[in-house]
Structure 1
Amino acid sequence: MSIYNNPQLDELDYQILEILIKDSRTPYLEIARMCHVSGGTIHVRMKKMEDMGIIKGTKLLIDTSKLGYDICCFLGIYLDKSSSISYVLEEMKKIKEIVELHYTTGDYSIFAKVICKSIAHLQDLLMNKVHIINGIQRTDTFISLSQPIDRNIQF
């Protein structure tokens, strides 16, 4: 039985993904050398994985604490009723401090990751941006003390 779950991908595709997960800036020719194939093969494989939606682009990772955003927290959000989800999600997309948003099962309808500059900033965010959204009943806030694991999937 293969450890790989997608029949459209083979071992080379997973090798490429493993290299890019470690360093997404690795040049295609370096990947080709590491995988013992041509640069053209890497281009073709990358295009295939982009077309399949496996690779959705690249993004810049920023250490927000170095920009003064020292508070990372999570909001568990209760809705008044489930029919207000679309409106609430659209309103929450407008709040720049929300860096992740998940529609979830369990106690919360929405779980959000938020970054703030200070506790006062967090309080202002909750009172003047989040709690004023129609459809939000209440929130629970969890402040992150540290992030000992920060990684992508590993193959």
Structure 2
Amino acid sequence: MLDETDVRILDELSLNSRISMKELGEKVHLTAPAASARVAKMEDKGIIEGYTIRLNQLKMGFSVHAMIHIYLRSANHQPYLSFVKENSEHILHNYKISGESCYLLECKFQNNEVLDDFLTKLSELVSYKLSIVIN
């Protein structure tokens, strides 16, 4: 069970996972060793699964951000999953979902031409519905 201090620690780590234990402790009113011990305990319990970075896709040259609902034509998902693996440079997330569609792809593309090529190949395997992220 998480107490209020643990929640505050998680909030601070969510804002900046590179924060020093000294600074984290100051923000949540603990000593650096106490903050470090709480973080280690949450890591051991699996509450904190890892640390990551956020990338600015636009600054990396990916100006098209797309969400694609995937509708499989058969119960065999393997051809689609192989396509996802082969085209991982464009795929941010591949969510298996319930509801109207089977999967939700979150993708990035350098431009509309690259997106069109991706969709042409994808349409050989599945039906899809495309949404472009505006903001």
The answer to whether the superposition gives a TM-score over 0.5 is: yes
SS at match of 1:81: coil
In the alignment, which residue of structure 1 is the partner of 2:15?
A: 22
For 1:53-68, list aligned pairs within 5 A.
Answer: 53-68=46-61
In the alignment, which residue of structure 1 is the partner of 2:134?
A: 145
Structure-1 separation of matches of 2:108 and 2:43: 30
Identity %: 25
Deviations 1:73-127 (A, max 9, x none): 1110001233x23553354133210101111111110001000011100011112
- 2:27 pairs, out of 21, 24, 34, with 34
In the alignment, which residue of structure 2 is the partner of 1:107?
A: 100
Say if 2:81 is the partner of 1:89. yes
Q: Structure 1: 5+ residue runs without aligned partners? A: 1-7, 147-155
Task: Tell me if the contact between 2:90 and 2:107 (Cα under 8 Å) persists in the aligned partners.
Answer: yes
Alignment length, in residue pairs?
Answer: 134
RMSD in angstroms over aligned alpha carbons? 1.7
Structure-1 separation of matches of 2:79 and 2:120: 18
**Runs of 4+ that moved beyond 6 A:** none
SS at match of 2:59: helix
Structure-2 separation of matches of 1:109 and 1:12: 39
For 1:37-52, list aligned pairs within 5 A.
Answer: 37-52=30-45
In the alignment, which residue of structure 2 is the partner of 1:3?
A: none
Q: Structure 2: 5+ residue runs without aligned partners? A: none
Deviations 1:118-142 (A, max 9, x none): 11000111123x334xxx4311111
CA, structure 1 residues 140+27, in 2 after alignment: closer, same or farther (shift >3 Å)? Answer: same
Task: Tell me if the contact between 2:64 and 2:110 (Cα under 8 Å) persists in the aligned partners.
Answer: yes
